[in-house]
Structure 1
Amino acid sequence: MPNILSLKLLDSLQSHSRQPKLKQQYLANRPSSDGYNQQNAGFSLIELIVVLLLVGILAAIAAPGWAAFVNRQRINKVNDAVFAALQEAQREAKIKKLSYSVSFRKNSTTQEVAIYRTDIGISTWKPLGTDVGVSSDKFLLGTNLNSTTENTADSNVSYSLNASAKITFDYMGTLPNTSLGTSGLQIVVAVPSSANPTSPSSVKRCVIVNTLLGSMLTAKDNKCS
């Protein structure tokens, strides 16, 4: 005859064996009181629309600032190319003890530069900006150089460049027969105006030859007259 201890042990084992089944039945039959189940996971259509609208608003706010940044980077690169061209002509003049010139012109829609021995003349024009990855339609080129008198500054910068504009360095790298005016000899690159692509905006960069010795500096915006 089984004793009382054996009966209690048997009952305990049976109770433990029933617990997992009871738990599974409870979980299966439990109502979804918090309103969440696997089928409701993810975003609703309204939530997605709201997110897309917010992204669009943020993009519209950021786009003008990004475009302005890109434009500034472009004309910075072109201005560096202008500076390098002038330096190259001045350096060649000093090394070879000959006069060297830099000319700029607008040829149809292409803005070009040439570096050459003054006594030989221009052999090759090169599109300005291509070496730094900027196409001519992304900037305007202007100068205050007088088109008929060498190394002479006019009072205003012209962006038409109907005739080529030239700066000449003598065999010492200085500027012979120079009239610098009040603002020096300026080569200006500008971002086209959004209202009129043939007119410059206020975003400008320039190289200024400001002494008879051929000293050069760079400036921007309202300092590029």
Structure 2
Amino acid sequence: MKKAIDRRGFWGTLHKLTRSQGFTLLEIVIVIVITGILFTIAATSWNVFLNIYRLNTAQEQVFLAMRTAQTSAKQQHLAWQADFRQVNQVVQWAIHPDGSTPSEAQWHSLDPNVRLDPETTLQKTDNVWRIEFSPLGRVNGQLGRITLSGKQGGRTKRCVIVSTLLGTLRKGADQTTPKDGKYCY
């Protein structure tokens, strides 16, 4: 018995196989559109994540700068201060004994995507915001906060608050309702 041979032969069978394999233009366009939508969602979420990460890191640096100034004041029995400024749109911080000038201090920069928010209420002199601690680690002068936000906008804020004259420091985050006109508490 002979096998039945397709009249079209080998080339007909090959043509049949290649026609049934592959994707149509419509299928490719749909896959590209879906991929684009997923990429857009992922990129937006990534940007929000990065902004929050940068603000959290900057908040921790500000908190540690204030805490270091306070600890140095207690250990050395001298008044110390933590200073903050913006130079070329970059937030910088320094700690130094009260007798020295900010220009003599060693300045450190925060992430360039972070800015000082207008909610900052620390004492400001010559474009330098400062908090001073007495030799006992208490606040000399005004209470206040440093508030940080992202340069790309958004409502996300982080702050470090000096809340008592005893020098209590605490961290705060953005809230949906204001308290005393401030959203970071």
TM-score by length of 1: 0.66
Residues 214 and 24 of structure 1, relative CA distance in 2, 3 Å threshold = farther
The answer to whether the 8 A contact 1:205-1:219 is kept is yes
Match among 23, 45, 53 for residue 73 of structure 1: 53
1:203 maps onto 2:156 in alignment: yes
Match of 2:178 in 1: none
The answer to whether the 8 A contact 2:90-2:114 is kept is no
SS at match of 1:165: strand
Match among 116, 138, 148 for residue 189 of structure 1: 148
Match of 2:89 in 1: 109
Higher Rg? 1
The answer to whether the 8 A contact 2:89-2:115 is kept is no
| Displacement of 1:128 | 2.6
Unaligned 5+ runs, structure 1: 1-18, 149-161, 195-200
Deviations 1:132-180 (A, max 9, x none): xx22xx12114212325xxxxxxxxxxxxx611111111111113x343
1:124 maps onto 2:105 in alignment: yes
**In structure 1, C-alpha distance between the alignment counterparts of 2:52 and 2:69, rounded to whole Å:** 26
The answer to whether the 8 A contact 1:110-1:127 is kept is no
- Counterpart of 1:211, as a letter, is T
The answer to whether the 8 A contact 1:104-1:166 is kept is yes
| Displacement of 1:25 | 5.2
| Displacement of 1:43 | 2.4
1:224 maps onto 2:177 in alignment: no
Residues 212 and 24 of structure 1, relative CA distance in 2, 3 Å threshold = farther
1:164 maps onto 2:128 in alignment: yes
Deviations 1:72-119 (A, max 9, x none): 111111111100101111111111111111111112322211110111
Match among 77, 88, 109 for residue 68 of structure 2: 88
Match among 140, 143, 164 for residue 115 of structure 2: 140
TM-score by length of 2: 0.79
SS at match of 2:75: helix
Percent identity of paired positions between Structure 1 and Structure 2 = 29
The answer to whether the 8 A contact 2:123-2:131 is kept is no
- Which stretch shifts more, 56-65 or 163-172? 56-65
**In structure 1, C-alpha distance between the alignment counterparts of 2:75 and 2:109, rounded to whole Å:** 24
Residues 86 and 23 of structure 1, relative CA distance in 2, 3 Å threshold = farther
Residues 167 and 24 of structure 1, relative CA distance in 2, 3 Å threshold = farther
Residues 25 and 210 of structure 1, relative CA distance in 2, 3 Å threshold = same
Q: Figure out how many residues of one structure are paired with residues of the other and give that number.
A: 173
